[in-house]
Amino acid sequence: MMYAFKTIVLSLLPLAVATTSNGFDPREATIASTHHSLDTGLTTCREVVSSFLSRIERLNNHTNAIISLNPHALSIADQQDAQLRSNNGSYGPLFCIPILLKDNYDTADIPTTGGNLALAQSQPSKDAPVVATLKKAGAIILGKANLHELALEGLSVSSLGGQTINPYDSSRTPGGSSGGTGAAVASSFCVWGTGTDTVNSLRSPASANNLYSCRPTRGLISRAGVVPISYTQDALGPIARSVEDVATALTVMASVGFDADDNTTALVPAGTYGTNYMSSLTKGSLKGLRLGLVEGFFNKTTSPENDPVNNAMAQTVAKLRKAGATIVPITSSLYNSSAILASLDTQRFEYRESMDAYLERPSLGGQHPSTLNELYSGHDYLVIPSQYEYVNTSLVSSTANTTGRQGSYATVKQGVANLTLALAETFTANGLDALIYPEQTNIVVRVGSPSQSGRQGILAALTGSPVVTIPVGFSNATATAPEGVPIGMEILGRPWTEEKLLQIAYQWQSLARVRKTPSWAKEVVPVKSYTAVPSITPNRGNIPAAYPVGTLGG
Ligand SMILES: *[C@@H]1O[C@H](CO)[C@@H](O)[C@H](O)[C@H]1NC(C)=O
Ligand SMILES: *[C@@H]1O[C@H](CO)[C@@H](O)[C@H](O)[C@H]1NC(C)=O
Ligand SMILES: *[C@@H]1O[C@H](CO)[C@@H](O)[C@H](O)[C@H]1NC(C)=O
Ligand SMILES: *[C@@H]1O[C@H](CO)[C@@H](O)[C@H](O)[C@H]1NC(C)=O
Ligand SMILES: *[C@@H]1O[C@H](CO)[C@@H](O)[C@H](O)[C@H]1NC(C)=O
Ligand SMILES: *[C@@H]1O[C@H](CO)[C@@H](O)[C@H](O)[C@H]1NC(C)=O
Ligand SMILES: *[C@@H]1O[C@H](CO)[C@@H](O)[C@H](O)[C@H]1NC(C)=O
Ligand SMILES: *[C@@H]1O[C@H](CO)[C@@H](O)[C@H](O)[C@H]1NC(C)=O
Ligand SMILES: *[C@@H]1O[C@H](CO)[C@@H](O)[C@H](O)[C@H]1NC(C)=O
């Protein structure tokens, strides 16, 4: 099976054939190309891991994407080399695949900080179930990626990790909140990485970094052991350079299965358990698909920020039509993200209790605040200008919980149920396979902007719908963006249709070939012979003045 995908994967590589000194080229490497190099004896697992560490050490200053490296990564690689020499040709689906985790996934061997200075020493005693599953499948955790602090916005700036920079445009943010993962994956600092998504956060970094991601249906992947925001909206998922790698990563992450510590996992239908999203990838077709184009999720006002998105979407729609898909305009005024966010967002009710529960757990070791109030009274956090109601200590105790203002939380939940039904009606009435729309109505915002405006993630977040995000184009090149700024599209499906959405994305990948390496990331970095994993220091000196550290709540 490994070999079956070899030709496809190689033909997608935007780079010429590898010219590195060793037998493994980390640039644009995929799970299949890494396994191929290992299987044919061209490389060792130590060399695979060392080649990514060498890139991170040399190139991380371009994006400031990494918070910490895993001191055990090389010894795990050595163990896997020993396993490779002694085994009989079988290994886990992520054997020796270097990955980066967004730094809100609990790891028992590295602190889990959420990018927050107050959590710099916070040390879970157990891996999150999804992390344990990734390790069991052979993945090697290289380290942790920066994020928007505590995953609360989409600019990817944090008090611990500083500002992460977009690898395609040095003047822009990488989207977020999983922006460190997005920037790192786009720059080939790992094969793929993990993100979380409460409103937009797996999709915005995919869109802004020319990558693929999957936000799965609520319940598919246990969220236990991940720094929470919202029971209703939180989701975990993979971000990768190819659909194949998203599919394999999703298969492994979903294999946690039912987890009593996240009761939404009980919702997974029997037939969905154990799905191998990789094995059915080639079975789809664009011919005959009915795709609803959500008109309300565009900004048609002409501007240098909106025009590239509208042009890329027009070209995408034309290509999909030409390939045999039917595009159905969806014009209902219900699909207005600002209106939905203003009336139905559940974060403000759910954050405090989820976060307190996370911080209070006896299994959380290391020095850390034990409540959200304690976190915010220490002044070791970043303040974003449009501060959220639910993290403002002057407001939270009276408003932001599920029992206070019970009436309004109940009304919001009813509204979410209504929206979910209305979405199902849109699918049924129009006979749709999926909805499509730009992830962001404008290209990703510049560093120093007050918020990541124009994103359309709230519909899937509230309804728990699956979305696969795909790259659809670039803006025109500029002095700071030699390849242009990446543009992404969401493909939203009915619950549990990840398999279909990934098949659509796979067809798109073969048809459009949109993936490009950031110019500076094409550099061939000599592989160092490490005796130990180097340490990395995030650049906190680059935090925009607009985001002061530690003045929230007065
Ligand atoms: C990163 O560091 C290298 C030297 O190690 C330097 O040549 C390069 O200009 C730096 N890049 C940025 C964006 O700071
Ligand atoms: C050989 O493969 C089998 C089945 O996958 C496995 O149970 C066994 O442990 C392997 N043997 C070695 C030496 O790795
Ligand atoms: C599901 O879990 C959440 C969070 O732990 C909890 O608030 C809720 O009461 C649980 N629901 C049920 C029906 O057990
Ligand atoms: C649409 O784009 C224009 C021009 O960039 C901008 O001024 C306006 O705020 C945008 N509208 C919305 C709803 O975001
Ligand atoms: C991009 O460049 C093309 C060709 O040079 C030009 O026609 C188009 O107007 C430009 N688009 C934008 C949004 O600037
Ligand atoms: C969408 O909702 C916002 C906020 O409620 C409103 O200001 C705006 O006019 C609506 N847009 C459209 C196109 O109806
Ligand atoms: C929730 O808000 C209510 C009403 O203000 C308050 O009495 C209660 O203590 C709050 N609960 C928590 C867990 O903060
Ligand atoms: C939800 O729908 C019901 C039935 O149509 C309606 O009575 C109710 O007002 C709606 N609630 C919200 C919050 O939209
Ligand atoms: C927090 O809320 C209080 C009360 O509304 C307000 O005065 C203060 O400006 C808010 N703080 C921030 C940082 O938004």
What is d(CA 197, CA 207) in angstroms, rounded to the nearest whole number? 13
pLDDT, position 388 = 60
* Average pLDDT of span 137-143: 98
CA of 299 relative to ligand 4 center, distance in Å: 6
- pLDDT for position 88: 63
Mutating to test ligand 4, I would choose from 297, 298, 301 the residue with most ligand atoms within 8 A of its C-beta, which is: 301
Among protein residues, the one with the nearest Cα to ligand 9's atom 11 is 553
Percent of the chain scored above 70 by pLDDT? 90
pTM for the whole structure: 0.92
Say whether 177 is catalytic.
yes
Q: For the residues 310-333, what does the mean pLDDT come to?
A: 98
- Active-site residue flag, 102: yes
Cβ of 301 closer than 6 Å to ligand 6, yes or no, is no
Query: So what's the pLDDT on residue 552?
Result: 45
Q: How much distance in Å is there from the Cα of 348 to the middle of ligand 6?
A: 21
Q: Which CATH number is 5-542's, of 3.90.1300.10, 2.60.40.10, 3.40.50.2300, 3.40.50.300?
A: 3.90.1300.10
**Residue 269 identity (one-letter amino acid):** P
- The ligand placed nearest to the CA atom of residue 520 is 1
pLDDT at 383 over 80: no
CA neighbours within 13 Å on the CB side: how many for 239?
A: 41
Q: Pick the residue whose CA is nearest to atom 7 on ligand 4.
A: 301
Cβ-Cβ contacts under 8 Å for 268 (sequence gap 6 or more): 219, 220, 257, 258, 496
CB of 98 shorter than 6 A to ligand 4 = no
Could you identify the atom of ligand 3 that is nearest to the CA of residue 263?
1
pLDDT value of position 89: 66
Which amino acid residue places its CA nearest to atom 5 of ligand 2?
A: 90
Question: For atom 2 of ligand 4, which residue has the closest CA?
Answer: 301
422 vs 420: CA distance, rounded Å: 5
Going by CA atoms, what residue is nearest to atom 8 of ligand 9?
A: 553
Give the model confidence (pLDDT) of 17-59 as tens digits. Answer: 444 446 899 999 999 999 999 999 999 999 999 999 999 999 9
Q: In degrees rounded to 5, what are phi and psi of residue 420? A: -65, -40
Q: For ligand 7, is residue 407 a contact (CB within 6 Å)? A: no
pLDDT for the residue numbered 352 = 84
Res. 375 pLDDT band, cuts 50 70 90: confident
Binding site membership of 87 for ligand 2 (Cβ less than 6 Å):
yes
Question: Does the beta carbon of 333 sit less than 6 angstroms from any atom of ligand 6?
Answer: yes
361 alpha carbon, closest ligand: 3
236 lines ligand 9 (CB under 6 A): no
Ligand 6 within 6 A of 2 CB?
Answer: no
Q: How confident is the model at residue 392 (pLDDT cuts 50, 70, 90)?
A: low
Q: Which of 297, 303, 305 to mutate to test the pocket of ligand 4 (most atoms within 8 A of CB)?
A: 303
Q: Provide DSSP, 415-477.
A: HHHHHHHHHHHHHHHHT-SEEEEESBSSSPPBTT-SS-TTB-THHHHHHT--EEEEEEEEPPP
Q: Output the residue whose Cα is nearest ligand 4's atom 6.
A: 301
Ligand nearest to the CA of 55: 1
Q: How far apart are CA 235 and CA 379, in angstroms?
A: 28
In angstroms, what CA-CA distances link 7 with 10, 36, 188? 5, 11, 20
Q: Distance between CA atoms of 115 and 297, rounded to whole angstroms?
A: 31
